[in-house]
A and B are shown apart, each in its own frame.
Chain A
């Protein structure tokens, strides 16, 4: 490949990832005839519908330079409360969805207000709230799922709009929405400003407190939505929903090129990374690899992606230094 084309493509955080994803798809299609089967594609899409929301939920907190360890715990709590509303109280589905998202927003607000009020590190607060939310979840359910979800929920989840499965809209709309908030709204610009340089943001007259709380509310809402979608996907409201979200929630934004210190995240990169993770799992499945090794390969993928990002950042830095006398 021409060196200058390669250089230009490397400038976008997500282009090498996209190439990797395409390569993975080609390889998988060659390895296994069943890869492009409707069934297999639908299985992947179902995973995507949840994981993309989980990744975005974490990504917005990374944008301000924080973490939300309670992403899965919020998702789980929302999932069982959503299930309870449907099974025990017969709440109409649209209302229950809205209420469930509201609970997610509320959980996020608790995180945000606690961090802002105590000024304790967000890592610790969300770690504690992870336990609090999970405890509530198991206390309410005694670890027993709500099995009787209305058929209408399953039907809606598996329905098509013309040839397009409805569940494809979830990641697409969520990504567009979060991208819009971050890039085009005042609140989103304040978030990335705070992540990029908290002192400068505060001196410029931004309310760091308000931005911090808004971010956690947004993160909680997305985690809650992920919980709702997970219930629709499984057909039962299981208390264990969310228990295994944490790794993917960090892996996707970081593979997607996010700076853990804050100030820079890529919505497209994160979404491609989610697809890449799903392809990896699917590929291992199709190749009949021992499923217990999935974690191993996922870890390897994270390491490789982060090392690549690091290499690229150093390279850009070196170029800038050699091209200019006064560094910026």
Chain B
């Protein structure tokens, strides 16, 4: 049977990173095709190419026998490709119906026909058994409801090709079952479906074929799923060598408790968060996208407000009002997950980016900062982190992703923090840099730093953390000692989240009722 959508030899590079390297993908009408891979393997880049968000550097896309090339989302939509992106793409003030039909509002003489639009939306809400009024602004919906609205939008296009990037990440098991039913029906009607998920059980039970990406390349190309086990898929995802070698092990020798959260609530919406991080310990904070981990970190460094409970540093109750205070007074640092947006000033030099946390210490007479003193202070750090840069005066925007990340970490090493929150340290960096950063996290802990590690990458979490807290819906819903056994731990962590979701999303059960409760 010939493919409806064929992608062959597609490559895409960003400065310093090869996101996709000659990737192939073949979707057939009437089949559900799984696309899996670790974070940063290139799944989202591939989807963005198929939907005209980014253009490939090389390679061909053939849709229904005709070569196509999309340079904007409209073109791919018009060609009959519908998508649910991983990130939410809704307009908060707009109604459910408007968000679903934004690009094809029913109009008469240019005037929007609301009733017709609401009727159209209701039809798809009914299919999804989502009981909301089509006129409700989406900002009043829960995360799960928003996700279902996005799915409804994609379904309403009734397109030949349907791409779903992590559609089940934030919805309950019951809603997943309903979605699975709908997808099977669409498949039987001849739609070609691409299903991206981290949940391998879902993939195995739902999909017909699988394409696995690893570091921007095909680890498998439209392989039939029949007979494959979860282990087989994981091996394809991480690669045999990576699964075997790794870092070895580390024995943590926790010292006194550096950071303690006791029933902490925040303005961002956290409730009853209890966390302890000891000196010399790597404590993981695991959760799905949107669980509230980064938001918690931001509250701890004083960007957002802590509204209840106690934060203690070295046993003393503290109130951190700003990142400045966090750094200067408590020596608490935060390596941002968003190195381009928050971690670095891309147009500035390596020196300036690194020294930014210590300028107050480098000041000499009259408050002046001398370049020589600055560079002398920075150079050992840059060398220690093995940042590959032609010179210290190079703008960090010109460095590769991995080296940018090292600079982002370097500035916190310069600050000599006692507590360091590291958020997604290895997103978009190559394998070698990743290993390097992993060793660095352990080294920091060995030297007595209390490390709170946030990462969405399960393998990284299980590799690095001594203990893991599981966060879901802005609460800590479990605490697990890390056995460093991937299969066992991944099952345990997912189970905790799934169990919590099932309780949270049970109809008629207010979320507030169980705020702060531990599983």
Residues on B lying within 8 angstroms of A by beta carbon are 51, 53, 72-74, 77-78, 83, 85, 89-94, 98-99, 102-105, 107, 110-112, 138-143, 146, 153, 267-269, 271, 307, 473-475, 511-512, 515
A325's partner among B77, B99, B107, B511 (CB-CB below 8 A) is B511
- A184 touching B271 by the CB < 8 A rule? no
A197 close to B91 (CB less than 8 A): yes
Is there an interface contact between A204 and B73, defined as CB atoms closer than 8 Å? Answer: yes
Task: State how many angstroms separate the Cβ of A146 from the closest Cβ of chain B.
Answer: 37
Residue in contact with A185 in the complex, picked from B98, B111, B153, B511, CB distance below 8 Å: B111
**A203 contacts across to B, CB distance below 8 A:** 51, 53, 73, 83, 85, 89
- Output the least CB separation between A52 and chain B (Å): 23
What residue of chain A has the Cβ atom nearest to residue B102's Cβ? A204
Segment at the B interface, from A2-10, A158-166, A188-196:
A188-196
User: With contacts A189-B112, A325-B474, A327-B268 known, is A202 near B72, CB below 8 A?
Assistant: yes
Q: Please, how many angstroms separate the alpha-carbon atoms of A200 and B146 in the complex?
A: 13
A204-B98 Cα distance, complex, nearest whole Å: 11
A189 touches B102 (CB 8 A): yes
Pair A326/B474 contact, Cβ less than 8 Å: yes
The answer to whether B90 touches A200, judged by C-beta atoms less than 8 angstroms apart, is yes
Q: Does the CB pair B267–A321 fall under 8 Å? A: yes
Cross-interface CB contact of A200 among B74, B91, B141, cutoff 8 Å: B91
Contact A196 B269, beta carbon cutoff 8 Å: no
Number of CB contacts from chain A to chain B under 8 A: 99
Given contacts A192-B91, A203-B53, A205-B102, could you give 7 more A-B pairs where the C-beta distance is less than 8 Å?
A: A185-B110, A185-B111, A196-B92, A200-B90, A205-B77, A206-B74, A206-B102
A13-29 toward B: CB 8 Å interface, digit per residue (1/0)?
Answer: 00000000000000000
- Contact assessment for A326 and B91 in the assembled complex, using a CB-CB cutoff below 8 Å: no
Roughly how many angstroms separate A325 CA and B491 CA in the complex, as a whole number? 26
Contacts of B93 in A (CB 8 A): 192, 196, 263-264
Interface of A is mostly: helix
Contacts of B142 in A (CB 8 A): 326, 328
Q: Tell me, rounded to whole Å, the shortest Cβ–Cβ distance linking B471 to chain A.
A: 12
Interface of chain A residues 182 through 235 with chain B (CB within 8 A)? 184-187, 189-190, 192-193, 196-197, 199-207
Q: Please give, as numbers and ranges, the residues of chain A lying within 8 Å of B143 by CB-CB distance.
A: 326, 328
10 CB contacts below 8 A, A to B, read A184-B111, A186-B107, A189-B94, A189-B105, A203-B53, A204-B99, A205-B104, A324-B511, A326-B143, A327-B269
Complex contact A185–B107 (CB within 8 A): yes
Tell me whether A318 is interfacial, beta carbon within 8 Å.
yes
Set of chain B residues within 8 Å of A325, measured between Cβ atoms: 269, 271, 473-475, 511-512, 515
State the Cβ distance, A252 to closest chain B Cβ, in Å.
21
Contact B269 A326 (CB under 8 A): yes
The reply to whether A205 and B74 contact each other, CB–CB distance below 8 Å, is: yes
B87 to chain A, nearest CB (A): 9
Report the Cα distance A206→B91, complex, angstroms: 12
> Which residues of B sit under 8 angstroms from A197, Cβ to Cβ?
89-92
Please, which residue of chain B has its CB at the minimum distance from the CB of A207?
Answer: B74
| A127 → B minimal CB distance (Å) | 23
The CA of A312 and the CA of B71, in the complex, are separated in Å by 41
Bound together, the chains give a CA A190 to CA B102 distance in angstroms of: 7
Contact of A204 among B89, B140, B271 (CB under 8 A): B89
Contact, CB under 8 Å: B103 / A263: no
Q: How far is the CA of A328 from the CA of B110 in the complex (A)?
A: 31
Proximity string of chain A (150-190) to chain B, C-beta cutoff 8 Å, 1 when within and 0 when not = 00000000000000000000000000000000001111011
B94 in contact with A324 (CB, 8 Å): no
Q: Which residues of B contact A206 (CB under 8 A)?
A: 74, 102-103
Cβ contact within 8 Å between B107 and A193: no
Q: Is the CB of B91 within 8 A of A196?
A: yes
Contacts of B138 in A (CB 8 A): 328
B88 to chain A minimum Cβ distance, whole angstroms, is 8
- Among A197, A203, A207, A327, residue most surrounded by chain B Cβ atoms (within 10 Å): A203
Give the docked Cα–Cα distance between A185 and B268 (Å). Answer: 35
Give the distance in Å from the alpha carbon of A200 to the alpha carbon of B93 in the complex: 13
Q: How far is the CA of A322 from the CA of B515 in the complex (A)?
A: 12
The reply to whether B92 and A328 form a contact with Cβ atoms under 8 Å apart is yes
B102–A184 CB distance below 8 A: no
Q: How far is the CA of A197 from the CA of B137 in the complex (A)?
A: 14
Given A325-B475, A325-B515, A326-B142: A263 and B91 interface contact (C-beta under 8 Å): yes
Say how far A288's CB is from chain B's closest CB, in angstroms.
Answer: 45
A193 to B112, CA, bound (A): 14
With A201-B102, A318-B267 known as contacts, the answer to whether A186 contacts B89 (CB < 8 A) is no
A185 CA to B110 CA in the complex, in Å? 5
Shortest CB distance A161–B (Å) = 27
User: Which A residues are CB-close (under 8 A) to B74?
Assistant: 205-207
Chain B positions within 8 Å of A199 at CB level: 89
| Minimum distance in angstroms from A24 CB to a CB of chain B | 30
Q: Which A residues are CB-close (under 8 A) to B271?
A: 325
Establish whether residues B140 and A328, one from each chain, have CB atoms under 8 Å apart when the complex forms.
yes
Assess A184 versus B72: contact at CB under 8 Å? Given A192-B93, A263-B91, A328-B143. Answer: no
List, in ascending order, chain B residues with CB within 8 A of A202's CB: 72-73
Task: Tell me whether A184 and B112 are in contact (CB under 8 A).
Answer: yes
How far, in angstroms, from A326 to B295 measured CA to CA in the complex? Answer: 12
Kindly report which residue of chain B lies nearest to residue A327, judged by CB atoms: B269
> Chain B residues with Cβ under 8 A from A205's Cβ?
73-74, 77-78, 102-104
Cα of A67 to Cα of B92 in the assembled complex, Å: 22
